[in-house]
Chain A
Amino acid sequence: MTLQIVVMVKQVPDTHNVTEEAMKADGTVNRAALPAIINPEDLNALEEALKIKDRIDAHITAITMGPAKAAEVLKECLYRGADDVVLISDRKFAGADTLATAYTWKYAIEKIGKYDLILCGRQAIDGDTAQVGPQVAEKLNINQITNLLEVVEIDERRMTVRRAIANGYEVVRSGFPLLVTVSGEANQPRSPRAKLVMAYKNIEKDVRGDSYDVSYLETEETHMLSRIVEWNADSIGVDPAICGLAGSPTKVKKIENVVLAVNDIKQIPCTEAGIHGLMQELKSDHII
């Protein structure tokens, strides 16, 4: 029996690598200038899915919710071995907080149909909340396990995992359906496979139901190639009142850029005299 795995992935700005080019003159970050990447812990989640597929019979569907550009992260998933990919995209989803996002995800995943295991990264490096995974699990009314470090055992009925806890780890077991969030410490994601990159780098979106069927003109090869399936709010049947900004109980009141303030720093020369002076000052101020 093939284990049906859904991997949730997100395209995010690379907030952990803010270089000089992405900094404005006033010391704040130019958010628009940050390169877009696949959320690092989502790659760890995909890697766990691929490792499971290396062990047992499994089918991996990678899904992302975002603007059209987000299809790029779906390609990253295909390059590494995902079987199917889906883009959930609609302007109605804009401005969503984690609750509204989780609602949208629930409808999208239920449209996929049967699933056993949902894997996602522990948290995204733009929102940094780690809330969407558990909230999707609650909306789907399924069990959740967070901070996965290692899959110890898995078969088509249940899985046993090692997860991080305060000051240690624990080994826990659950049946399916199950949502698991994957920590960055769990694995080293594999690189794209050249053969898959060649096969998928030019694939396009396939908006089902919009154009008439020309599949009789396709070769066997192109017909078998995965297409990027795209769904919008109507296709997944989500009520606009509960998604996007309208469905968000949390609202942003204010945003302040963190300015790398230049402190009144005392430059200490790297000499014996300079360092001696520093230690003396710390001593006389009773710091040491």
Chain B
Amino acid sequence: MKQVMVFVEQIDGRIADVSIELICEARRLARELDATVTAVALGSKLAGVLPALGNYGCKTVYCVEDERLSHFTSHPYAKSVVGVIRRHAPAIVLFGATIIGRDMAPRIASALKCGLTADCTELRIGEHKSLKQVYPKTLLQVRPAFGGNIMATIVSPESGPSMATVRPGVMKLDPPEAGLSAEVVMEESGLTPDDFLTEVVEVVRREKSVNLGAAQIIVAAGAGAVAPASIALVRKLAQTIGGVVAVSRPLVDAGLFPHDHQVGQTGATVRANLYIACGISGQIQHRAGMAGSKRIVAINSDPDAPIFRIAHYGIVGDLNEVIPKMIDAYKN
């Protein structure tokens, strides 16, 4: 039976949202291939959390349970997953395009000599005709390239598996169906002490200060709103209309906001009901993170700012004047 496999990322026993999003996507792909959805998870004390993946359509989870794998390092993780893939020969393997996924997946693809496409925004099963033959059902992997200026469709039909990484928030999360449990199959890691090449000395994790992916209303500040008074207005507007504050990359680079608040290609992808862009020019790397929002209001003093090309409402003006007017209008 063909398999569409998902690498399940976990931190301290908590399964990453992106892994569940990918299991939902795997289920959609598996239907077209007449395949089953499986998963691979590495770590220790995981057997308890894995059966719940069945609620999203995962049939079997291959669990490599090893105390030494409780924290990610490149080589042991890559080698363990290569082992699972070689044993079960899935047609497709999906990874979250997280720091861990982008570290591990290329190393795995290199070992298997198979194709890997990074940061896919869309996955489909379709036909591909090469010069030599026709592949009726292969994975079509769509992704931005060239800094986001082109969309490329990539295929890798001649090698196996077809592997892809996908950023968090890109694939649709389905509601869980209670009562379906995934079978957990324990597997050996096959690792020796020589495989552990990186020593972890210290780990410092901060609690995420904001969950942009879940926010319905976002008020975002860009380079045009970098002044303290402008940022204060952005915060006040967010507070007034019940929204969350986000920023574009320049404000993170300037040290004014932590990376958690960043929307864009190297930050969060959001699909808010309302996205108010204040002083954001709308470079492609930012648009990549928010263009899927339902209503976009853009405030910018430059009438040629690219943000106006994707906004539903455009206000050409000084945000320091416009925002107070918006707050007043909302309250009355």
Contacts and interface: CB of A to CB of B under 8 A. Distances in A.
Interface string A8-19: 000001011010
27 contacts: A98-B106, A135-B107, A135-B109, A144-B74, A144-B75, A147-B99, A165-B99, A166-B100, A166-B205, A167-B207, A167-B260, A168-B206, A250-B156, A255-B150, A257-B150, A258-B148, A258-B150, A263-B310, A265-B312, A266-B313, A266-B314, A267-B314, A268-B315, A278-B313, A278-B315, A278-B326, A279-B326
The interface residues of chain B, by DSSP majority, are classed as mixed
Contacts of B145: 126-128
Interface residues of B, number: 86
Contacts, number: 239
Contacts of B328: 272
B205 A168 contact: yes
Interface string A94-106: 0001110010000
B93 to A, nearest CB: 13
A28 B119 CA distance: 21
Contact of B200 (A170, A260, A278): A170
B187 interface: no
A102 B308 contact: no
Given A249-B158, A287-B273, A288-B274, A128 B321 contact: no
Given A129-B118, A164-B99, A166-B98, A174 B198 contact: yes
A193 interface: no
B204 A255 contact: no
B107 A137 contact: yes
B111 interface: yes
A203 interface: no
B326 to A, nearest CB: 6
Interface in A236-288: 249-258, 260-270, 272, 274-276, 278-280, 282-283, 285, 287-288
B329 A279 contact: yes
B326 A250 contact: no
Interface in B284-303: 284-285, 294-295, 297
Nearest to A142: B197
A138 B111 contact: yes
B52 interface: no
Contacts of B152: 252, 254-256
Given A29-B149, A268-B297, A285-B295, 15 more contacts: A98-B106, A125-B147, A128-B144, A128-B147, A138-B107, A143-B197, A144-B74, A145-B198, A165-B99, A168-B206, A250-B155, A256-B150, A267-B314, A267-B315, A270-B321
A31 interface: yes
The number of chain A residues touching the other chain, given as a range, is 35 or more
B315 A275 contact: yes
A146 B102 contact: yes
A134 B73 CA distance: 13
Q: Which 8 A-B pairs have the closest CB atoms?
A: A15-B147, A270-B317, A138-B110, A250-B115, A249-B115, A131-B106, A249-B159, A143-B197
Nearest to B314: A265
Given A99-B109, A138-B110, A253-B128, A131 B317 contact: no
Interface of A: 13, 15-16, 18, 28-29, 31, 97-99, 102, 125-135, 137-139, 143-147, 160, 164-175, 249-258, 260-270, 272, 274-276, 278-280, 282-283, 285, 287-288
A251 B156 contact: yes
Contact of B103 (A126, A146, A282): A146
A108 B284 CA distance: 35
Contacts of A171: 200-203
B67 interface: no
A135 B110 contact: yes
A283 B240 CA distance: 13
Nearest to A143: B197
Interface in B60-85: 73-75, 78
B125 interface: no
A251 B130 contact: yes
Given A258-B144, A263-B311, A268-B313, A143 B201 contact: no
